[in-house]
Homo-oligomer: A and B are copies of this chain.
Amino acid sequence: MTITVVGTVAFDAIETPFGKVDRCIGGSATYFSVAASFFSRVNLVAVVGEDFTDDDASIFAGRDIDLEGLERVAGQKSFFWSGEYGFDLNVAKTRDTQLNVFAGFHPQLTETQRRAPVIFLANAEPSLQLATLEQCESPRIVALDTMNLWIATARDALTEVFKRVDLVIINDAEVRQYTEQSNVIKGARQILALGVKTLVIKRGEYGVLMMTRDKLFAAPAYPLEQVFDPTGAGDTFAGGFLGYLAAQPEATDQAFRRAIIFGSTLASFTVEKFSLDRLREITIEDVRARYREFKALTHFEDFEV
């Protein structure tokens, strides 16, 4: 099944304890599309400025990504984010955010984009997510990501979006913030009670917890000795997860679980280098090999009674 993603294609400036880059390609929809395209076709919907070159666009080349929805606006600059990570790589400190061309982004989906059976609303103001969702024609799965900013500043609108999606991908601090519950499981139940079918809770270096009304699945993150740059890990995860899921004949509990592992696998590659440098290099065989390592990492036997 095809996925339509609406999000950012952007430039980042990043400093980590291991290096520094002044301009590299980033953005939620970029990481998402590349990761998802390992498994499914993706319609990319985003806007860039005239600073976005053909060379920049080469990241999408040779992949199953439809770029019809990638609008380039003359006389404007692309979304720009600058951030740094310290000793604790789990926390990004934002130095600067320039919305630029993204400030006037009001996506109008084409018929193809509207009819995609899977929709991913990348992190954005909830009103923009809602405006996108209203254009879609009975998708089978709608998923969204969000962030602390919208929980703090657009809580009611976010609640409206939560009520209309199937799947929420969120981190554990955001679950706590939104629900004002210290216990993440209890908080997750509150979000599920809004009508969300599946909650995928990202826990950074500790992995992922997936919850439905009656099922729980916990997966660790792949243990890396060198996390070089965590930027894009969450969107890569979402891409691998939804990309794999969209390619399955049935969305069974086991398909969701495998999707979580494929999402985690792709995210573990992203953080090994700056930007999409590592995602660019790997093949589906690398992804499958690391999936098998995940199995070895987590497998334990039944005890003998």
Contacts and interface: CB of A to CB of B under 8 A. Distances in A.
Interface of A: 17, 87-89, 182-186, 189, 203, 205-207, 209, 216-220, 223-227, 254, 257-258, 260-262, 288, 291-292, 295, 297-303, 305
B258 A298 contact: no
B302 A295 contact: yes
A300 to B, nearest CB: 4
A291 B224 CA distance: 28
Given A186-B225, A225-B183, A298 B206 contact: no
Contact of A300 (B186, B207, B219, B303): B219
A271 to B, nearest CB: 11
A216 B258 contact: no
14 contacts: A184-B205, A186-B226, A189-B225, A203-B206, A207-B220, A209-B223, A216-B297, A218-B297, A218-B298, A219-B220, A257-B301, A258-B300, A258-B303, A261-B300
A126 to B, nearest CB: 26
A252 to B, nearest CB: 10
A182 B288 contact: no
A301 B203 CA distance: 22
Contacts of A203: 206
A217 B257 contact: no
B301 A183 contact: no
A258 B206 CA distance: 20
A291 B77 CA distance: 55
Given A206-B207, A302-B295, A182 B89 contact: yes
Contacts of A298: 217-219, 298, 300
Contact of A220 (B220, B225, B262, B302): B220
A189 B261 CA distance: 25
A277 to B, nearest CB: 19
| Highest count of chain B CB atoms <10 Å: which of A206, A219, A291, A297 | A206
A291 B303 CA distance: 9
Contacts of A262: 303
